[in-house]
Amino acid sequence: MRDLLLVGFLFVAIFYAFKRPYLGVAAWVWIALTAPANWAFGFSQDFRLNLTIVLVTALAYVFVQKQKSFKLGGIGMLVILFCFWTFITTLFNNNSSPSYVWYIFTEFLKVAALFFFLVLIVRKRLHIDTIIWALILSVSSYAGMEAVKFILSGGGHKVVGRAGIMIDRNDLAVAINMCIPFIVYLIQSSKHRLVRHGLWLLLGLNVIAIIGTGSRGGFIGLAILALAFWWRSRHKLIWLLLAALVLPVAYQYTPEQWRERQSTIQTAATEDGSFIGRLWAWKISSMIARDDPLTGGGFRAVTDPILWHSYAPYTPVFGPIDTPEIPADKAPKAAHNVYFQVLGDHGVVGFIIFMLLLLSTFLASNQSLKLMRKHKNDWGIQLCSALYLSLIGYAVTGANVSLAYFDLAYTLYGLIAVVSLRRQELLTEHSGHDAVKVTGLQPAKTQGTA
């Protein structure tokens, strides 16, 4: 049955992608994050769903999209630069299995392609909302289902990913945190009462899902996200009093295992084997970048057994934090930190480019938010706030996961780039006037077909 549903979805997606290319991008986002082929058990597992929808979207852009615009903006140029530098680091990688590094590089190019097609195709509010709904239907809906299992099991069910890149519970917690601002955005912008009620329920379930993952980084990210929402709220005192009343009571109903795990945050550096393993990975990533500051070790450098064991003897006294010696039979650990991940994979140069990309998205989203506030555009304020908060969620919780090349992150970069490039068009569309002149913005070209 699942196989038939997937095949049916594929044919429907192909049909509508040719009619409306932005629907192809939305299907691309949903497939990339959900990995639906991994949910099936029969013949559809052999289907290249992602590749098929990518090719269809590319053809639709070439043959259907009219008056094409090739503007990518500063964010797009930095993505191109980062792709180029990852090619250089792949060319000169130090991995014991170079073919594996090239495979990861091609996978990253697919992620970058999603960014580029999103920026080239998405133009209108309808397009942006469709992409956001694709995110909610892929990440947040799954988190909601897992939260229901967590509740029904009395906290015994462990919330983890089922398929795709988010199979790890920490990765899933990051994705949920990144999508929570978009649920709030849809609550604010949806006109239908039942939809809003359903989204409120989904929001609560997503918060519970983060607790259910048991991820300390996810919980810290949720706390920071809540603080950011509170800071931007107009009713700070009311929310503060409500939190003071509800949170202590809610904490008593959380599973004891979860409370014990969160209580180890302060002592993790000395007592938690999992966190010590991450310190080892961060130290080795730093030493790889120290020895190869230009190109690093290539994709997944820190997980290469030869590189790991060659640096292992030097980890105890390297850096500001002393750690135990790495046992000789200890398997390599992933970086579990997007910043150290890029540093070890692509050297200091790649790390600088990555940080410039992250900084440029922060600046662009903040500038868009200021302009929307200046013109009192409520929809634009809600959208830009969601983009900014989602970026905060990624930047904070990214310190706990190896998701530097994450589809969701590049979808977020793409949405921020679209809003930055098409502020004039979006403001004109929302105001309902054809000739609105927005101060401080460049005149936009004639908009193409959806």
* Residues of the chain below pLDDT 50: 433-450
Whole-number Cα distances in Å, 379 to 72, 188, 189, 384, 393: 23, 8, 7, 9, 21
| pLDDT tens, position by position, 323-343 | 888 888 888 888 889 999 999
Looking up tokens 């002592």, which residue turns up? 267
pTM recorded for the entire structure? 0.87
Question: What local confidence, expressed as pLDDT, does residue 300 receive?
Answer: 92
* 79, HSE (Cβ side, Cα atoms, 13 Å): 27
Q: How far apart are the C-alpha atoms of 225 and 391, rounded to whole Å?
A: 10
Question: What local confidence, expressed as pLDDT, does residue 329 receive?
Answer: 83
**Sequence-distant (≥ 6) Cβ neighbours of residue 354 within 8 angstroms:** 82, 338, 339, 342, 346, 404
Q: Indicate the burial class of 121 (C-beta count within 10 angstroms; 0-12, 13-18, 19 or more).
A: buried
Looking up tokens 């650990």, which residue turns up? 333
Question: What local confidence, expressed as pLDDT, does residue 276 receive?
Answer: 84
| pLDDT tens, position by position, 193-241 | 999 999 999 999 998 898 888 777 788 888 888 887 777 776 667 666 7
Nearest to 368 by CA among 419, 429, 413, 411: 419
Delimit the domains of the chain by residue range: 133-236
Q: How far apart are the C-alpha atoms of 169 and 147, rounded to whole Å?
A: 13
Question: What local confidence, expressed as pLDDT, does residue 418 receive?
Answer: 93
Question: What local confidence, expressed as pLDDT, does residue 445 receive?
Answer: 44
